Structure 1
Amino acid sequence: MKPSRVLQKLRRGERSLGVCLHLTDPAVYEMAGLLGFDAIWMDLEHHGYSVETAGNLMRAARVGGTDIVARPGKGEFMRLSRLLELGASGIMYPRCDSPEEAAEVVRWAKFAPLGQRGFDGSGPDARYTLTPMTSYLKQANDETFVLIQVEHPSAVEKAEEILSVPGVDMLMLGPADFSVLTGIPGEFGHASIQAAFERIANAAKKTGKHWAATCGSVEQAARLTEMGASLVFHGCDLVFVRQGLEQVRQRFSEALGMTFNPLPDAASRGSYLESRS
């Protein structure tokens, strides 16, 4: 199977950069891969496209060798396994509440002796039966990773316990849901969010594991990587498209005096995705 670009960098002590893609045009995934991004966050927790569509998007990303970090919904363990069979390099599991739940994720994501993932071997991850079974089992365990996402304050308090679970490779705070669940929606500069990052960073240091983070700016990415984050995700395609369209609108308005009448919500600038710094 394809070696994980993220894991290769982690083993060399290097940092990785990922981007979140929501659009379902394979060309966007292919472009991100050709541009050299280390990872693409594929979000199937909040988006309704099928596993079949996910497989075609992964196929496009393989052109550039980019890792797919696929996020199923909470408790979607069978979908998790299928995403790995389609070629995902990493699983981002959301809303994990305990070490026991993290262990269940490992059970579905890793082959024995690490877990109890079911064997098929006919998918792209095993090169459509072309990889010998014993080689495939080892490669799958070595070149895929489990990223556990904690979003509830009580789960953040268990960061060290969750990271200590054998087979869990990374931990990641979900700052948006954490802000909602702690009664400070959208206040990404709040002290409690910084404290949550610090707790996760300390847990990673104590356990010798890695941690990942989302960032709203290069400056925030610098702060997070200084704290020890190994994988950072920045931006998403929908925001990039919106920013480009707004730039065109502004330039033509200023240069030619053209007027535009966007809907009230569309007229406001910025979004929570750009305010997490």
Structure 2
Amino acid sequence: MDRLVNPFKQALKSGRLQIGLWHSLSSHLVVEILADSGFDWILIDTEHAPNEVPMVLAQLQAMSGATAHAVVRPAWNDQVIIKRLLDVGAQSLLIPYVETEEEAKRAVQSTRYPPEGFRGFASQARASRYGRIKGYHAAANAEICLLLQVETKRGLENLERIARVEGVDGVFVGPGDLSAALGYLGEPNHPEVVKTIDEAIRRIKDAGSVPGILSGDAQLAQHYIEQGCLFAAVGSDIGLLANGAEQLAAKFRSQNPGR
């Protein structure tokens, strides 16, 4: 039964800051390297990355026993997609593009077995260690960590109602799509966007939920943490690879001009 305990959920409930990294390269080898690098959680993305369920399964296996916890982002708030990710062993999910209280409730129900929800029953899925965890189905609901992503004007209008839905563990503010919705496409660092996110963080906290964010800008990420974000992704594997490669190449090109 100890294998069911979700340490990431427990950390959020106890108010402990969780620092994360976005994984978009869709590689079990990459995520295996990242998972023991000191981050509290790694986001496995299937919304904006070429990731499918068998690939996510391999990435979850690669993270087994690592120090970082896996959070999986489905491509959509879809009952079937969510069921499949849960069955292969995802315990924490970040659901994108949630705009209403009804959509929030549907996300909760998709992650819960009846009578609390409508998650489909599988007796020997990887989530239950292929049926070896006794009492898995009775205990699973309580250990699912459900994070909802708000990233539109409509979502902001319904923010408190979304945050207060029973079964929602946290609300993640999506700076990319939100900046576009506010008229600042590609400018998540724009002062008006930052102001709106700051206000959203306050509203999520006041509603009794836990705020989260992603920012590859270290200074801005620290700012959001100081505002109260308890789960904060501070970069991505693509950013680390691209920036590190460019810096290394530039260093040696500058030392060897003309070659």
What is the TM-score normalised by the length of structure 2?
0.91
| Separation in structure 2 between the aligned mates of residue 140 and residue 93 of structure 1, nearest angstrom | 18
Amino acid corresponding to residue 70 of structure 1 in structure 2: V
More off after superposition, 112-121 vs 154-163: 112-121
CA shift in 2, pair 1:138/1:219, >3 Å: farther
| Separation in structure 2 between the aligned mates of residue 75 and residue 9 of structure 1, nearest angstrom | 25
CA shift in 2, pair 1:166/1:238, >3 Å: same
| Separation in structure 1 between the aligned mates of residue 157 and residue 191 of structure 2, nearest angstrom | 15
| Separation in structure 2 between the aligned mates of residue 163 and residue 11 of structure 1, nearest angstrom | 14
Report Cα offsets for 1:161-213 as digits up to 9, x if no partner. 10111111111111111111222112223343223323332332223211111
Alignment-derived partner of residue 158 in structure 1: 158
Amino acid corresponding to residue 243 of structure 1 in structure 2: N
Alignment-derived partner of residue 203 in structure 1: 203
Match runs of 1:30-179 below 5 Å: 30-132=32-134, 135-179=135-179
Amino acid corresponding to residue 91 of structure 1 in structure 2: L
Q: How many residues align?
A: 257
Alignment-derived partner of residue 256 in structure 1: 256
| Separation in structure 2 between the aligned mates of residue 63 and residue 26 of structure 1, nearest angstrom | 14
Does structure 2 retain, via aligned residues, the 8 Å contact 1:35–1:64?
no
Alignment-derived partner of residue 9 in structure 2: 7
SS of residue matched to 2:116: coil
Report Cα offsets for 1:208-257 as digits up to 9, x if no partner. 21111112233223221222111001211111111121112111111111
| Separation in structure 2 between the aligned mates of residue 166 and residue 35 of structure 1, nearest angstrom | 33
SS of residue matched to 1:52: helix
CA shift in 2, pair 1:250/1:228, >3 Å: same
Does structure 2 retain, via aligned residues, the 8 Å contact 1:156–1:199?
no
What is the TM-score normalised by the length of structure 1?
0.86
Report Cα offsets for 1:62-90 as digits up to 9, x if no partner. 13043221111224321111111111121
Amino acid corresponding to residue 60 of structure 1 in structure 2: A
CA shift in 2, pair 1:258/1:129, >3 Å: farther
1:25 matches 2:24: no
Flag structure 2 segments of 5+ consecutive residues without an equivalent: none
Runs of 4+ displaced beyond 4 Å: none
Does structure 2 retain, via aligned residues, the 8 Å contact 1:67–1:89?
no
Flag structure 1 segments of 5+ consecutive residues without an equivalent: 260-277
Task: Give the alignment's Cα RMSD to 1 decimal.
Answer: 1.8
Shift in Å, 1:258: 4.3
